[in-house]
Amino acid sequence: MDKFKSIRAVAAPLPMINVDTDMIIPQNHLRTIERTGLGKFAFSNIRYNDDGSEREDFVLNKPAYRNAQILITGENFGCGSSREHAPWALKDFGIRCIIAPSFADIFYGNCFKNGILPIKLPQEIIDDLMKDAEHGANAVFTVDLENLEITRPDGQVIKFEVDAFRQHCLVNGLDDIGLTMAKGEKISAFEEKQKAQQPWLYK
C-alpha cells in the first residue's frame, strides 16, 4: 500500500450529501477484483452523458480539477453497500484524501486500508474549505498526516484528528497484509518453537 505522509494538491468541491458507494462506482463495474483501472468509472453515472461523453458541469471533468487529489464533500460520504471497489476507484482516479463532516463506517475503514486518508471536520469548517476549493487551480491545500494538519490556500492551519493506529498504518503504508509481514520474525520464531514442541502438526 502507498504511504501517505503529506500531500500538496488541488482540492475539488463536491457539495453533495449521502454520496453512496453506487454513485462512487456503479454496480455494473464490479466484475473485477483488480484494484487498478477503475478510476475511469468513478462517479460514471454523473460524470458521463448517456453517449459516453463527459458532462462539462461535473467538477472532476473541469480542467482545474482533473488532477485533484483531495475531495471536499458533504456528510455521510460512502454510505450504501460495503463495496471495497469504491475506494479502489477513487484511489485509481487519483484521490488521496477526502474531507467531509462524516463518513459511513465501513467506507471510512476501507479508505485507510487502501491508502486514502478520510478526514472528519465540523460542518462550519467544511463550508469554509468548500469555498476555498471553488477557486479552481488556486485551491491548493497541504494535508500533513504526520502532524495532523491541513494548510489552506491562504496559509491558515487547521488541526484534525485520526486514530493513532490508523495514522501509523497509513504513514508507513501498512495494510492488513503489511502488518502481518512486519511481524515476520516473531511468526517464524513461533513456528520454530511449535515445530519443536508439536512436530506432528508439521508432518
Q: What is the pLDDT of residue 175?
A: 74
Report the sign of the C-alpha dihedral through residues 123, 125, 126, 127, in that order.
Answer: positive
Distance CA 38, CA 53 (A): 17
Q: What is the pLDDT of residue 195?
A: 76
Give 10's strand partners: 140
Could you give phi then psi for residue 167, rounded to 5 degrees? Answer: -60, -45
- pLDDT (tens digit, 9 = 90+) per residue, 13-45? 999 999 999 999 998 777 776 777 899 999 999
Q: What is the pLDDT of residue 83?
A: 85
Q: What is the CATH number of domain 6-172?
A: 3.20.19.10
Residue 103 contacts residue 118 (beta carbons within 8 Å)? yes
Q: What is the pLDDT of residue 31?
A: 73
Q: Which of 98, 75, 74, 101 is nearest to 86 (CA)?
A: 98
3-class DSSP state for residue 123?
Answer: helix
Higher pLDDT among residues 178 and 80, named by residue: 80
Region 166-190 average pLDDT: 75
The answer, yes or no, to whether residue 176 has pLDDT greater than 70, is no
Residue 54 contacts residue 47 (beta carbons within 8 Å)? yes
- Per-residue confidence band for 130, with pLDDT thresholds at 50, 70 and 90: very high
Residue 111 contacts residue 119 (beta carbons within 8 Å)? no
Domain residue limits, the chain: 6-172, 175-203
Q: Which of 114, 116, 75 is nearest to 95 (CA)?
A: 116
Full-model pTM: 0.88
Q: What is the pLDDT of residue 183?
A: 61
User: To the nearest whole number, what is the mean pLDDT of the chain?
Assistant: 91
Q: What is the pLDDT of residue 30?
A: 75
Could you give phi then psi for residue 37, rounded to 5 degrees? Answer: 90, -5
**DSSP-derived secondary structure letter, 53:** P
